Amino acid sequence: MSLAIDDTIVALASAAGGSYEGIIRVSGPAVVEVLKKIFDGETGSGDLQSKRPLVLNGRLRLASDTRAQEVHLPALVYLWPTSRSYTRQPLAEIYLPGSPPLLDLAIRSLCKCGARLAGPGEFTLRAFLAGRLDLTQAEAVLGVIDAQDAASLQSALTQLSGGLSHPLASLRNQLLDLLAHLEAGLDFVDEDIEFISRAELQQQVTAAATKVQSIADQLNSRSETSTSAPRVVLYGEPNAGKSSLLNALAGTAAAIVSPVAGTTRDYLVRLVTIDNQQLQLIDTAGVEEVSSTNAIAADAQSLGQSQHQQADLQLLCIDSSQPMSPWSHAELQRNSLTPRLIIGTKFDQTGGHSFDLPSPALLTSVVTGHGLDELRGAIITALRKSTGEIPVVATTALRCTASLQAAATALASAADLTTNGASDEWIAAELRLALDELGQVIGAVYTDDILDRVFSRFCIGK
């Protein structure tokens, strides 16, 4: 990967293959000179100091390999002639008829005029090197391009607008201030001048440690799941109506439903999209005491249990047409760390009066459809609350979890050292470690290896 930014790069920016229009992007100090050699056109309106590009209408003159005469192509050029561009250097986007051989010829001609072919992600790399984006935002650009559904697009856009960078950058600034105080104190150690009180130091370091740990935990839970769709697990006693509810929400008869208690023996996963959010809806075997001689039932119980533990959201199903069982009573009392919704099923059989369910229970019926829309809404609201405030794209979670955890650990030990009256030097060393790790996340500290990992996944032209 080339970190040079003083040559001028060119690449196809639109999707490969034939189309009505193709876009070629050129960036570098020589953009204007390169264009002058090959483009005839009039300068449209535009203000050099504006962030808006100049719009040039004209023709591109290309020397054909097969024909003696030049090929003249109608072209529209958007030109950012100063540093007010994506890459913070002169940049042009050339709109041409989208024929692959013509676009190819245009790119080769631009190379003959002084540009060179760009590598993968090199435009975004330049934006990063110029300080326009940090690394998490560069990854978000890729997240936007790769987004498969509205939810992942939303995460990528939030990250692009600084969702992860802003809290991390302000944390780094705060830690840099603390470090400066400590280091100033070290310089005057003989005079016994204190630049920051121990109590203040302890309070700030502990707060930073907690914050970084919580971000690390969020990223960690994100990178562990193989699919980004959150897991919503239906559970409850046999015959409570779990499989019926799965079928109703999934809109297909995926799970077997029957009046025989203990119908579901396995677990069943269905991908469901509600309000543009994709989720995995998981049906489990009804919870019951099973004798150790019934191996299938025992297996069903342990499979259900493990799904239940891995849930992002649990849906406790209780038959609202029956008096509440001791199991349901006990289950309702149990504190659950995982967010949970309580659903009173079979509402159509209650004659409008369900048994004594607690008030936040949602009453549903798969026969009349009662409460199903409310349930869909409640699932989405609960998931948005439970998946944390900072959405991140999966590649960032994978790249940064270890760094954030290392930063959190260093800060926790800095907090311990402060409490135990250790010397400022030790505390400063831990702070430096944390700063270095946080710097790697946003790219304030980077190595070629880190840049390679981030940008090699990009396609050429981005």
The residues of the shown chain that bind Mg ion, judged by CB under 5 A, are: 243, 263-264
Spatial contact of 70 and 90, defined as CB atoms under 8 Å apart: no
DSSP result, 422-462: --HHHHHHHHHHHHHHHHHHHTSS--HHHHHHHHTTSPBT-
Q: Is 280 in the site for ligand GTP (CB under 6 A)?
A: no
Report strand pairing: 21-27 vs 9-12: antiparallel
263 or 386: CB nearest Mg ion? 263
Q: Is 243 in the site for ligand GTP (CB under 6 A)?
A: yes
Among 24, 56, 205, 257, binds ligand GTP (CB under 6 A): 257
The count of residues in the chain is: 462
Among 170, 197, 252, 258, binds ligand GTP (CB under 6 A): 258
In three-state secondary structure terms, 289 is coil
Q: Is 7 in the site for ligand GTP (CB under 6 A)?
A: no
54 or 254: CB nearest ligand GTP? 254
Spatial contact of 274 and 284, defined as CB atoms under 8 Å apart: no
Q: Name which of 303, 306, 308, 331 is nearest 318 in CA terms.
A: 331
- How far apart are CB 347 and ligand GTP at their closest, in Å? 7
- Report the distance separating Cα 190 and Cα 21, nearest Å: 71
Q: Name which of 357, 287, 288 is nearest 322 in CA terms.
A: 357
- How far apart are CB 394 and ligand GTP at their closest, in Å? 33
- How far apart are CB 286 and Mg ion at their closest, in Å? 7
Spatial contact of 132 and 88, defined as CB atoms under 8 Å apart: yes
Q: Is 244 in the site for ligand GTP (CB under 6 A)?
A: yes
Among 162, 262, 339, 439, binds ligand GTP (CB under 6 A): 262
Q: Is 85 in the site for ligand GTP (CB under 6 A)?
A: no
Among 90, 185, 230, 286, binds ligand GTP (CB under 6 A): 286
Spatial contact of 231 and 306, defined as CB atoms under 8 Å apart: no
Name the DSSP letter for residue 120. B
Among 87, 109, 345, 440, binds ligand GTP (CB under 6 A): 345
264 or 440: CB nearest ligand GTP? 264
- How far apart are CB 260 and ligand GTP at their closest, in Å? 7
285 or 427: CB nearest Mg ion? 285
243 or 403: CB nearest Mg ion? 243
Q: Is 241 in the site for ligand GTP (CB under 6 A)?
A: yes
Would you tell me how many other CB atoms lie within 10 Å of the CB of residue 143?
Answer: 25
Q: Is 366 in the site for ligand GTP (CB under 6 A)?
A: yes
- How far apart are CB 303 and Mg ion at their closest, in Å? 13
Distance, CA of 75 to chain centre: 37
- How far apart are CB 296 and ligand GTP at their closest, in Å? 13
Q: Is 301 in the site for ligand GTP (CB under 6 A)?
A: no
- Report the distance separating Cα 233 and Cα 428, nearest Å: 46
Spatial contact of 80 and 29, defined as CB atoms under 8 Å apart: no
- How far apart are CB 243 and Mg ion at their closest, in Å? 3
206 or 349: CB nearest ligand GTP? 349
Q: Is 242 in the site for ligand GTP (CB under 6 A)?
A: yes
Bridge partner list, 314: 233, 340
Two tokens at 259?
Answer: 């009046």
- Strands of 151-216 (E only): list them: none
Instruction: Write out the residues near ligand GTP by the rule CB under 6 A.
Output: 238-244, 257-259, 261-264, 285-286, 345-346, 348-349, 365-367
